[in-house]
Amino acid sequence: MNMPRVPAAARDPKSTRPATGQRRLSREEERLRYRREVLCLPGPIDAWIQANTSSSTCARARSGSGSGSGSDPRCPLAAEEVCCMLQMQRTRPPAPADGGVFEDPETFTLYLALAGPAGTGDHPSIVRSRRMVLQTYEGWPESLDAPDWAAWRPGQTVAFRQRRVNVAAFLRAAVRSEDIIAPLIDALAFFHV
């Protein structure tokens, strides 16, 4: 008597082989799925950066059909807009004194500076806020729990524009430390119509 073939995935629930009709996930797809489902990543800051720097958002905003979010930062800013400039700094720990094989993880710091119109009339000027720490991460950039911005080149600047009220709402929702958020909100309040 011939028995029907049962897929390996159905026989063994721990099997990594996909069930019939499913394709095998690539390592990158597995990594992204694990980050999303288990680690709840990307976090709010990574999601904000992705939403404002995606090429489709930039193209839509540049063509005039967008809300100004993510548009070309080289164009003149509207009175209610600010340019958000993000930069990552990587700090390497000192080498082990005993020459051992174990080393401490690196520290990654994401800085935010805002630029916006200050003044009214025919000649508004652009004023830039001082650079402030938005988030820090201690670990390795290839770790599953690493934020996406930890893989940037050190010193690389990512810039996009957004309405002041949207930036303030994002900062209040995403940044939990009053020490970090207070100077950012003050900088937003400085840029006036």
User: Hey, how many other C-beta atoms are within 10 angstroms of the C-beta on 81?
Assistant: 23
Asked if residue 1 is part of any domain, the answer here is no
- Each residue of 118-160: pLDDT tens digit? 654 444 556 677 788 888 999 988 887 889 899 999 888 999 9
Q: Please state the three-class secondary structure of 32-62 as a single string.
A: HHHHHHCCCCCCHHHHHHHHHHCHHHHHHHH
Asked if residue 20 is part of any domain, the answer here is no
- Each residue of 65-99: pLDDT tens digit? 334 444 554 567 777 888 899 999 999 888 777 77
Cis omega (within 30 of 0) for bond into 42: yes
Asked if residue 93 is part of any domain, the answer here is yes
Domain count within the chain:
1
Asked if residue 56 is part of any domain, the answer here is yes
| Mean pLDDT calculated for residue range 159-172 | 87
Q: What is the pLDDT of residue 130?
A: 75
Higher pLDDT, 71 or 31: 31
Cβ(70)–Cβ(57) below 8 Å:
yes
Q: What is the pLDDT of residue 191?
A: 60
Residues 6+ apart with CB under 8 A from 144: 31, 34, 35, 39
Residue 2 has pLDDT above 80, yes or no: no
Asked if residue 179 is part of any domain, the answer here is yes
Q: Give the domain extent around 131.
A: 26-97+105-190
Burial letters 91-113, b for 16+ CB under 10 A, else e: eeeeeeeeeeeeeeeeebbbbbb
Distances (CA, A) of 190 to 127, 133, 141, 146: 9, 18, 35, 33
Asked if residue 14 is part of any domain, the answer here is no
pTM of the full structure: 0.67
Q: How far apart are CA 42 and CA 49, in angstroms?
A: 10
Asked if residue 53 is part of any domain, the answer here is yes
